[in-house]
Structure 1
Amino acid sequence: MGFSRGGTSDGPGSIQYLRLQRASSRSDIFPKLVAMQRNLKARHFAVFRVTGAGLPNKRKLVCELDNWGAGSGEHQGVLVSSYGDMFLDHIEMSILPIVWTGTEKGAYSEAGDFSSLVRKIDDRIMPSSGIAFPVRLGALGNGYVTFLSGSLELGSNLIIDQHVRSCQVMMDLLALDERRSVPAESLSEREVACLQLAGDGRISEEIAEKLGLSVHTVNAYLGSATIKLNSVNRIQAIAKAIRLGYIH
């Protein structure tokens, strides 16, 4: 998913922002979620990953991070049993955030009309109101970043901004998983240099001229880097190298 936002080139909606703010561990992700929770005036957050993608009747939501504290399993169970099936179906068709009204007094306060940006549910199943930001990054990176409270503070700009940040959170989780699966053999300096230039849009001939290598050697370095990163092509290798912090 992606959003186009006005402002400086290093704002929350930019690729540069996503690169610079990359998490090195799960402990780096938690403060980001806490900051988002404060922005939304929420009481709790939970990050769910979709597992079993592509397997009939095997898909389910698995909680990766939350701050429910004691009894977190019970809270997760209530949310999943209430909206889990709908969440799984929704993410296959739409990336609109889902907003629901709880049975507690307050629901959510609205700053302007943001109805076109969300899917609203008013069946009042959950005690708390909430918002769930869907993120689609591929079979292993799909999921939701959810926030719950007696009264959420929502507005168009805030929803867009927090959706972008939710995407970053899921990218961080996916990158951490990929980092653990990367072979012990790391990329060489030449492989990193070739990937960096390829990521900057240079073709093999330009990379060869820049580094003083033959085109054959450049392609060999890019090929070996692609294999080490367990990628199917150069484009996927570049994207993975960015997520893992080899290049920027």
Structure 2
Amino acid sequence: MTHARAHEIADDPFFAHRNPFGAATANSDLYTVTIPDAVRRCRWIAMDINASAFGLYFITPSADRPRLMPCFDSDYPGLAGATRNISAAASEEIILHARRSTGPRCWSDEADHSAESSNVFPWIERTTALVSNTTGIAFPVHAERSQSGLVVFFGTNITPLLGDVIYDIHARCFSLFDAVSRIQPSDASRARTMSKRELECLKLTANGYTSEGIARLLKLSVHTANQYLTQSAQKLDAVNRAQAVAKALRLGLID
């Protein structure tokens, strides 16, 4: 981390809330952020550990089919293919771990068997690679209303993280997730006008159903199911259905 950025972070109220267990502090309502603010600060963390990509995910509260739902990543306002793959392929084990624990999980490039690769994240428990041919780390994070998620960083040349550095990065991830969990859509009144069908389609999307699956369950055409999802994304001021689901979860519109 550069000296200038260290001062910038120290003076930024966004990172002043650093409880590693995600509990809100008395001052946690004194700042407001937008998604672009959160992306910028997540990019700072990525730069500090030399990660080439990152993503912030909410875990859907479904007891039967919990999933990682991307909120944003390093391709914001788009969504990278790697992020979609992580969301689709993340194992039940790491999702359940993130809901119950704060312990980070890491992986190393399977093609690189050097000692340097294996020592990037010493003492951190390993997990199946979320992105192949990369080294990465996933930080479980928690916020109010039992919200949980993962902040993921990965790349091919990540800086080794030792001792207090990991604790500091994890604390910053908690602050990031706490702030993002409080963000409201820019036009909340439009969110309140969402129809029952729009909310049903969003909830089914959160539970892993495709447009075809939603259409089959709700006895709709695929075109109509997609139309409901598009309308809900517009009402929530989301750039895609994944962000619409994340916003609906934060607002308590779906569970």
- What band does the TM-score fall into relative to the shorter chain? 0.5 to 0.7
Contact 1:18 1:168 in 2 (8 A): no
What residue number does 1:197 align with?
none
Task: Name the structure 2 match of 1:13.
Answer: 18
Conservation of the 8 A alpha-carbon contact between 1:11 and 1:17: no
* Among candidates 173, 183, 186, match of residue 166 of structure 1: 173
Distance 2:17 2:122 in 1: 20
Structure with greater strand percent: 1
Kindly report the root-mean-square deviation, in angstroms, between the aligned alpha carbons of the 2 structures: 3.8
Larger Rg over CA atoms:
1
TM-score by length of 2: 0.54
Q: Does 1:40 align with 2:49?
A: yes
CA distance in 1, matches of 2:103, 2:148: 14
Aligned residues: 170
- Report if the CA contact (8 A) 1:132-1:144 is conserved: yes
Match of 1:137 in 2: 143
- Following TM superposition, by how much is the alpha carbon of 1:114 offset from its aligned partner in structure 2, in angstroms? 4.5
The question of whether the paired residues in 2 share the 8 Å contact of 1:109 and 1:151 is answered with: no
**Equivalent pair of 2:86/2:130 in contact (CA under 8 Å):** no
Q: Which residue of 2 aligns with 1:59?
A: 66
Gaps of 5+ in 1: 1-9, 183-248
Confirm whether residue 78 of structure 1 aligns to residue 89 of structure 2: no
1:91 aligns with 2:107: no
**1:181 Cα offset (Å):** 5.8
| SS of 1:131 mapped into structure 2 | strand
The one-letter amino acid paired with 1:158 is V
Query: 1:90/1:20 Cα in 2 relative to 1: closer, same or farther (>3 Å)?
Result: same
Q: State how 1:170-181 maps to structure 2 within 5 Å.
A: 170-177=177-184
Bigger relative contact order (CA 8 A; separation at least 6): 2
TM-score, structure 1 length as denominator? 0.56
Conserved? CA contact 1:99–1:132, under 8 Å: yes
Compared CA separation, residues 181 and 88, structure 1 to 2 (3 A): farther
Task: Report the 3-state secondary structure (helix = DSSP H, G, I; strand = E; otherwise coil) of the residue aligned with 1:37.
Answer: helix
